[in-house]
Structure formats: structure tokens, C-alpha cells
Chain A
Amino acid sequence: KAGVTQTPRYLIKTRGQQVTLSCSPISGHRSVSWYQQTPGQGLQFLFEYFSETQRNKGNFPGRFSGRQFSNSRSEMNVSTLELGDSALYLCASSLAGPATGDTQYFGPGTRLTVL
């Protein structure tokens, strides 16, 4: 079974631009969660989607948004990029979601650099 894939793997943007990251979960998984990883803040939960609905949301500004499609693929969007948005963005998929204790499988991440 193919693992979680994320595209693109690397991205360079400038301040003020917007960016869209994509995540394809493991086949059959309906939950997709997004995390931001930075050296200073560690791994922080952004949001979780389950069956096209946002089910849980972390403490991030409204510039961070996401969606999930009927095939469970998910995208996250960051608008008006700031230097502090530079991070590794990780996507994780699971059958029922992290709040059930279900195992999450992580993708390799998208490294976003904001100049």
C-alpha cells in the first residue's frame, strides 16, 4: 500500500505571497491532519479533516486554511506569507483520526521557505 505523499517537497516563496500544499493519504484513510514543524516551536497541530469536514483546529491564524476532497486528498493554504511561516509542513493520515487514538501515518513533509 502506498504511503502518504506530499507535494511539493520543497517550496520557496516571498513574503505576502500565498501557497498551497497537497497531501494524498493512504488509500482508505478518511482523516488527514496537518502539522507545522519548526525548530523553535516543535510540532504544532494545524487542523484535521475527516470526510471533507474540518473536525478539529489548532491555534493558528485564519491565514492558514485547508480543505479535503471527496477522495480524501487534502490541501492546505497559507495566505499573505510571513517569514515565520518558514517550516516543515507535515501531513498525517489515519482511518478514524487522532482523537480516537488511531495511528497516524506521516508523509515526508513539504519544506516551505519564505524569503
Chain B
Amino acid sequence: DAKTTQPTSMDCAEGRAANLPCNHSTISGNEYVYWYRQIHSQGPQYIIHGLKNNETNEMASLIITEDRKSSTLILPHATLRDTAVYYCIVRVNAGNNRKLIWGLGTSLAVNP
């Protein structure tokens, strides 16, 4: 089962920042937090991941709380093309296979 909790859906105005929260209260010390998104009928797209420090790349920023029990994905200037389902995943160590366990994600609607 997925070890994360995300809101089912969120709305955001085009051009504004989208802040997507995720709770992972049972995360262990060596587990990373990954964010992916899936646009309708496409394969998921990797966004960003982190362990305990905040991370930023060309797509988004990831803010992880000091206790690591929650995180927030920030899309600084949301566009209509950012409308997608966003998945927050804690990577499970399963031998060398490092499975990703997927929850239902947050359906983000960016509105004009």
C-alpha cells in the first residue's frame, strides 16, 4: 500500500504558484520522496525527488519539513499544461529493485 496521503484534487489559477502537499508520516530515514505527474492517457513524468534538503530544478521545487513527515511540491508559475495528476511517492527499498508504490495522487486543475 502507498505510504503517502495527498488531497484528491486541487485548483490553481494560471500564472499562480501551485502548492501540492503530501503527508508521509511513516517515512524512514533512508527513504526518498519522489514526485511524478501523469497527464491524461500518458505515461508518468518524473518531476523531482529529495531526501531531506529542499530541492529545485527547472520544473519545480520540493520543500521537505525538518521531521520529514510531509513535503510540498511547488510549481512556481502554473500553466494550463500543468493540469495533471500529481503523485507523491516514498520509495520502498525492496532488495535491489527499489519499487515505487503509487497512490491515487492529486488531480490538479489549472484554470485560465
* A, B from the same assembly: no
